[in-house]
Amino acid sequence: MIVSGTVDGLYYELHGGPIAGREVVLLSSGLGGSGAFWAPQMDALLAKYPVVLYDHRGTGRSVRQLTQPHSVQAMADDIVKVMDALGLARAHLVGHAAGGNAGLALALSHPDRLAKLVVVNGWSRPDPHIKRCFDTRICLLKNSGIEAYVHAQPIFLYPATWLSENHDRLQAEEPHHVAGFPPEEVMLARIQALLDFDIDDRLGEILHPVLVSASADDMLVPVGCSMRLAEGLPNGQLEVAPWGGHGFTVTDPETFNAALLGFLEGGG
């Protein structure tokens, strides 16, 4: 059963409801923003939990205008709006990169709304390598256009071997990604929000159980960022997959899903 709706321009879906009296998992995607990113996790999660998907503001089926000024905190506030629309007082949150950072912001601003948190390839403060990668993507978008940005995007997301093996699939998906790409100013503002995100000195305030999940070969977010994040969280634990790149939830979903379910079902 799928229930869909829109709140303040945010498109959301509830899968596997009803939610009364049950633990619920809310999934928040990375920079691309689409809830469809989590397709490789859905079957595993739905076997045990109702799952909420949504498209970030500015992306997918959500409104293309951003809150001003835009920030990771604004992304966290949008999560609260989706939860309120569903009558969901509390949820486990699984966030990838931007979505994971939004989960950290949510833990600080609305701690009562969060049960457990999973941060996948996120960070507590900007890293020089992350800045270099985003500077490159900004340059591509501004100087070469959306098509060039989309064509280059898999280089930042996936291991080279996986890219080669999935070349035809990625080529076939490019026109879809170009057609659904946000306005340039929206993407630039979302990137800037990520570059401005820095809660490094507040990690000790986050008392929730947090799984910091990372891939050792992440080309976009160095694994050291996840190590630093886990070390600073009072109840953080680190899980590092040996392979899979920034998008290892896609390239190696079996490894990620096993760690995810183990954390959600464990104590704490």
Domain ranges of the chain: 2-265
Find out whether 7 and 85 touch, Cβ atoms under 8 Å: yes
Q: Is the pLDDT of residue 263 over 80?
A: yes
Q: Is the pLDDT of residue 47 over 80?
A: yes
In the chain, the amino acid numbered 54 is: Y
Q: Which CATH number is 2-265 given? A: 3.40.50.1820
Our measurement of the distance from residue 236's CA atom to the centroid of its chain's CA atoms, rounded to an integer in Å, reads 18
Separation between Cα atoms, residue 242 and residue 239, nearest integer Å: 10
Q: Give the model's confidence band at 1: pLDDT under 50 very low, under 70 low, under 90 confident, else very high.
A: confident
pLDDT confidence bin for 268, thresholds 50/70/90: low
pLDDT band at 168 (very low <50, low <70, confident <90, very high): very high
Q: Using CB atoms within 10 A of its CB, is residue 180 exposed (0-12), middle (13-18) or buried (19+)?
A: middle
Q: How far apart (Å, rounded) are the C-alpha atoms in residues 156 and 163?
A: 11
How do residues 17-41 score in pLDDT, each as one tens digit?
A: 899 999 999 999 999 999 999 999 9
Q: What is the pLDDT of residue 267?
A: 67
Per residue in 212-232, pLDDT (tens digit) is 999 999 999 999 999 999 999
φ, ψ of residue 136 to 5 degrees: the values are: -65, -45
Looking at every residue in the chain, the average pLDDT score rounds to: 97
Compute the distance between CA of residue 213 and CA of residue 263 in angstroms, rounded to an integer.
11
Residue 45 pLDDT greater than 70, yes or no: yes
Question: Cα-Cα-Cα-Cα dihedral of 34, 194, 191, 14, to 10°?
Answer: 10
How confident is the model over 139-159, as pLDDT tens digits?
Answer: 999 999 999 999 999 999 999
Q: CB within 8 A of 43, min separation 6: which ones?
A: none
